Amino acid sequence: MREFISGNEAVARGAYEAGCRVACAYPGTPSSEILENIAKYKDKIYCEWSTNEKVAMEVTSGAVFAGARSLVAMKHVGLNVAADPLFSMAYIGATGGFVIVSADDPGMHSSQNEQDNRNYARAAKIAMLEPSDSEEARLLTKLGFDISEQFDTPVLLRLTTRISHSYGIVNTEKREEHPPKTYNKDIKKRLILPAHARVRHIFVEERLEKLREYSNGFFLNKIEWGDKDVGIITSGISYQYVKEVFPEASVLKLSLTWPLPDKLIREFANNVKEVIVVEENDPFLESEIRAMGIKVVGKEKVPLTGELDPYILKRAFGFSEEIHSTRSIPSRPPVLCAGCSHRGVFYCISKLKLTATGDIGCYTLGALPPLNALDTCVCMGASIGNSFGLELALGDEIRDRLVAVIGDSTFFHSGITGLIDIVYNRGTSTVIILDNFTTAMTGHQEHPGTGKTLMGEGTRKIALEDIARACGVENVYVVDPYNLKETEEVIKREVKRREPSVIIARRPCALRVKPEPPLRVIPEKCTGCKLCLRLGCPAISMKDDKAVIDKYLCNGCGMCKQVCLKDAIVNE
């Protein structure tokens, strides 16, 4: 059947068709929709939101031990979290087909860095596949399971934002069934003590050579002969830009990009006058091809940072046309939604002039003006350790005006260990957990605190306050962030306390509940003081020196009403 689907949906489809039985992930843009789509096949594939990427990798690894075809998906930085089991699994191999999906984010549309995870395939010495559109995403996911079983290796399926979130036409096929084989205890393979691992390492190196031979003959590593003056070597989304910008050129399109097909690359290079390598971010192909002694043009022309597109590629090679220019115009950064429960906490932090270490989620937006409430954002869970480190370095200078701010899902992901560290090592930090009952930023996924699984089953709700207490924190308080007075008082009190405390600011994400009726400004009462604008609510703006509330955007949270000193904001 012909369907118009995204790259992420195509990966889900490919996994289904390949007879995948277990799939795990922690949501992260641009990878989140892979598991959301796999959940459509939940009668055939067990799927879960795992607490974090490392756990996701370990659960799928267990299923792979038993011979079940399994898939784990994450965004590029998620693979850092899961890197430990990844490198072990590279030695252990795959009894059942094991596909590891990494969705990289060139251009950093929704990420803190632009790391190129092709480097992981090389470092871990496993096979890597790179699709260039939705149809290939489906096909290569399927082939990934076959390659994995044939060579006893995990396979890294490397996507980028433009593969994950672009749509194209695919031809779907029927599902094949691959029932798990019988489980056999095999400690030489799966219990990698040094003595066993030394033997496995030799296997890994031999496997890489066999894979290289396979890569040389792989039907989707293919040469499209054209004009032989220039030959372009490329992979993934860059292939599409190359076809558009250099329609006449000869192209070597690589789909199995680790290990690289050395013979095929030499054959191609020997038949063209000049070799150009077009790839986003790191010179991954380029440095490998150069190391083979082949002269290429690469990153001296093609940008190293940011995403590519046809225009950028044209400009890199000096043949772009004149374009419309625009003068500098006001930027429109993303904002916390009207009625977002995080706003109350950030308003208080900002008012109390606290130093706040931040974390990853919608709430990172609290760093933007006018709230300016966060000082740092490093990686998932870092807020808690970062805050403790500041306290250690600066002591009393900062202790009384320091908080860590972390979301509920992020806290489950990797905040708990940081909290235990503070209690264990006698810290006094204050941790605010923004509990909005969802993983909002990535599209509102369930997590261990929501009482529901990815497959839609009810489950035990894990309470944040129970965890905090179990970690040894004695001062645990729950506040309603819509109540600014209460929130401010509790934060003020707890930052001063010379013991660790946890404040849970609890309110569902504004996008998940029915809005209250909008509020209204009485123009006669409004003095135009702009105090309400400090909330940074997108529904409030100034018109003719008076505040106005957009009734279509306002969600009736009532925070602005509490901020206004002139009682100018009222319920309709």
Residues touching other proteins, count (CB under 8 A): 60
Q: Which amino acid is at 490?
A: V
Residues 249 and 230 sit within 8 Å (Cβ to Cβ): yes
The yes or no reply on residue 338 touching ligand SF4 (CB under 6 A) is: yes
Q: What Cα–Cα distance (Å) separates residue 415 from each residue in 207, 358, 387, 433, 501?
A: 38, 12, 12, 10, 14
The yes or no reply on residue 554 touching ligand SF4 (CB under 6 A) is: yes
Question: Binding segment for ligand SF4 among 71-79, 273-281, 415-423, 553-561 (CB under 6 A)?
Answer: 553-561
Q: What Cα–Cα distance (Å) separates residue 90 from each residue in 51, 59, 521?
A: 22, 15, 62
With respect to other proteins, which residue has the nearer C-beta, 125 or 138?
138
Per-residue contact track with ligand SF4, 463 to 502, x per CB under 6 A? ----------------------------------------
The yes or no reply on residue 540 touching ligand SF4 (CB under 6 A) is: yes
The yes or no reply on residue 167 touching other proteins (CB under 8 A) is: yes
Torsions phi, psi for 368 (to 5 deg): -80, 155
Which neighbouring-strand residues pair with 296? 275
Taking the C-alpha atoms of residue 179 and residue 21, their distance in angstroms, rounded to an integer, is: 8
Residues 63 and 89 sit within 8 Å (Cβ to Cβ): no
Residues 375 and 357 sit within 8 Å (Cβ to Cβ): yes
**Does 340 appear as a known binding residue?**
no
Q: Which of 146, 124, 135, 298 is nearest to 218 (CA)?
A: 146
Residue list 505-534, contact with other proteins (CB under 8 A): 530, 533
Smallest distance from the beta carbon of 427 to other proteins, in angstroms?
31
**Does 560 appear as a known binding residue?**
yes
Taking the C-alpha atoms of residue 479 and residue 490, their distance in angstroms, rounded to an integer, is: 8
Residues 51 and 412 sit within 8 Å (Cβ to Cβ): yes
Smallest distance from the beta carbon of 57 to other proteins, in angstroms?
22
Residues 251 and 242 sit within 8 Å (Cβ to Cβ): yes
Residues touching ligand SF4, count (CB under 6 A): 25
Smallest distance from the beta carbon of 529 to ligand SF4, in angstroms?
15
The yes or no reply on residue 433 touching ligand SF4 (CB under 6 A) is: no
Q: Is the dihedral of CA 162, 165, 167, 170 positive or negative?
A: positive
Residue list 243-282, contact with other proteins (CB under 8 A): 243-244
The yes or no reply on residue 510 touching ligand SF4 (CB under 6 A) is: yes
Residue list 435-454, contact with other proteins (CB under 8 A): 441-443
Taking the C-alpha atoms of residue 340 and residue 346, their distance in angstroms, rounded to an integer, is: 11
Strands 22-25, 46-49: pairing is parallel
The yes or no reply on residue 57 touching ligand SF4 (CB under 6 A) is: no
Out of 72, 519, 526, 564, which residue is the one contacting ligand SF4 (CB under 6 A)? 519
With respect to ligand SF4, which residue has the nearer C-beta, 156 or 539?
539
Residues 67 and 93 sit within 8 Å (Cβ to Cβ): no
Taking the C-alpha atoms of residue 292 and residue 304, their distance in angstroms, rounded to an integer, is: 21
Residue list 342-371, contact with ligand SF4 (CB under 6 A): 342, 362
Q: Which amino acid is at 192?
A: I
Out of 22, 25, 537, 568, which residue is the one contacting ligand SF4 (CB under 6 A)? 537
- What does 519 bind: ligand SF4, other proteins, none (CB cut-off 5 to 8 Å by kind)? ligand SF4
**Does 337 appear as a known binding residue?**
no
With respect to other proteins, which residue has the nearer C-beta, 289 or 373?
373
With respect to other proteins, which residue has the nearer C-beta, 254 or 502?
254
DSSP 512-560: GSPPPPPEEE-TTT-----TGGGG--TTEEEETTEEEE-TTT-----HH
Question: In 10 A of CB 497, how many CB atoms?
Answer: 14
Binding site residue list for [4Fe-4S] cluster: 526, 529, 532, 537, 554, 557, 560, 564
Q: Where do contacts with ligand SF4 occur on this chain (CB under 6 A)?
A: 336-340, 342, 362, 436, 440, 509-511, 519, 535, 537, 539-540, 549, 554-560
Q: Where do contacts with other proteins occur on this chain (CB under 8 A)?
A: 2, 4, 29-30, 32-33, 109-110, 133, 161-162, 165-169, 237, 239-241, 243-244, 307, 309-314, 320-326, 329-337, 362, 365, 369-370, 441-443, 530, 533, 536, 538, 540-542, 552
Binding site residue list: 526, 529, 532, 537, 554, 557, 560, 564
